[in-house]
Amino acid sequence: MLGSGTSQGVPVIGCQCSVCKSNDERDNRLRSSIMFEWNNENFVVDTGPDFRQQMLRENVRSLRAVLFTHEHKDHIAGMDDVRSFNFLEKRDMELYCTKDVEKALKREFFYAFEDNKYPGVPNVNINNISDKSFRLPDGPLVTPIQVYHYKMPVKGFRIGNFAYLTDVKSIEMEELNKLKGVEYLILDCLRERAHISHLNLEEAIELVDVIQPKQTYLTHISHLFDTHENINNKLPESISPGFDGLIFNAGEAI
């Protein structure tokens, strides 16, 4: 888990709450993102504002492709920094996203898509995704899962027996069926109180009960939730709050 925090991160600028002032490193949460490894190749889901910091923290020297869940700024803002991998690996970065995300990337990073590009800007190839499974270059088969972030369509991703669902408020039964057999799940859970566009704790637990994975890690956690330790004490054994730097082995998936 590269980041497990909400759009403001934790601590929040200027906040003096007990979570933001916590001395537990697990309560320092960068914007939500993950990296998974397949056959010695690294793949990232979402390049938020902290992407550079996350890559440096994990000493990542190779990145094969990036998948995007949706176009909100806390999930795309760091895309410019893929240019470091252009330089290291002497190749364009493969991006996988919906047409809505492509539109946002071309708006926010217009200079990377001009006919006559300024030297040193990111070199990327956009691969559009829809509801069909696709295979990553030198990587696994990925099944998109359609969820909704209030009314905004967001893509979750299933890879083998692992699934990543961030920025979720609702999911239709047809998409839930695509998650049958998932053993490891990273799932959006903003806080205990209800929210218009994110799962709260009660809703997240209900969804886990439907999917029935072996282990679930919560992500996109707000400072309004609680400290890592206190959250963990509220959860059943099969559900844990995720934290930045968490590493786990999903067996056949990763």
Give the model's pLDDT for residue 95.
98
Domain assignment of residue 146, yes or no: yes
CATH code where residue 108 lies: 3.60.15.10
For the residues 42-53, what does the mean pLDDT come to?
98
Question: Contact at 8 Å (CB) between 66 and 84?
Answer: no
In a domain, 248, yes or no: no
201, 191 contact by CB (below 8 A): yes
pTM of the model: 0.97
Distance of alpha carbon 175 from its chain centroid, rounded?
A: 18
Q: How far is CA 142 from CA 45, 62, 155, 185, 220, in A?
A: 12, 20, 11, 14, 22
Q: Is the pLDDT of residue 78 over 90?
A: yes
pLDDT tens track for 118-169: 999 999 999 999 999 999 999 999 999 999 999 999 999 999 999 999 999 9
- The mean pLDDT value of the chain amounts to 97
What total number of domains does the chain contain? 1
pLDDT at 254 over 50: no
15 within some domain: no
Name which of 142, 168, 141 is nearest 154 in CA terms: 168
Q: For residue 158, what are the CA distances in angstroms to 24, 62, 110, 187?
A: 31, 22, 30, 12
Residue 246 lies inside a defined structural domain of this protein = no
Q: What's the confidence (pLDDT) of residue 251?
A: 73
Does residue 117 sit within a domain? yes
Is 60 exceeded by the pLDDT of residue 241?
yes
Q: How far is CA 252 from CA 35, 39, 42, 214, in A?
A: 16, 11, 16, 14
Q: Note whether residue 249 is domain-resident.
A: no
Whole-number percent of the chain with pLDDT over 90: 98
Enclosing domain of residue 174: 25-241
Is 215 a domain residue?
A: yes
Evaluate whether 171 touches 145 at the Cβ level (below 8 Å).
Answer: yes
Q: What is the pLDDT of residues 169-217, one digit of tens each?
A: 999 999 999 999 999 999 999 999 999 999 999 999 999 999 999 999 9
Instruction: Flag whether 13 is in a domain.
Output: no
Model pLDDT for residues 4-43, shown as the tens digit of each residue: 999 999 999 999 999 999 999 999 999 999 999 999 999 9
- CA distances in angstroms from 94 to 5, 23, 35, 69, 238, listed in the order given: 25, 38, 15, 15, 35
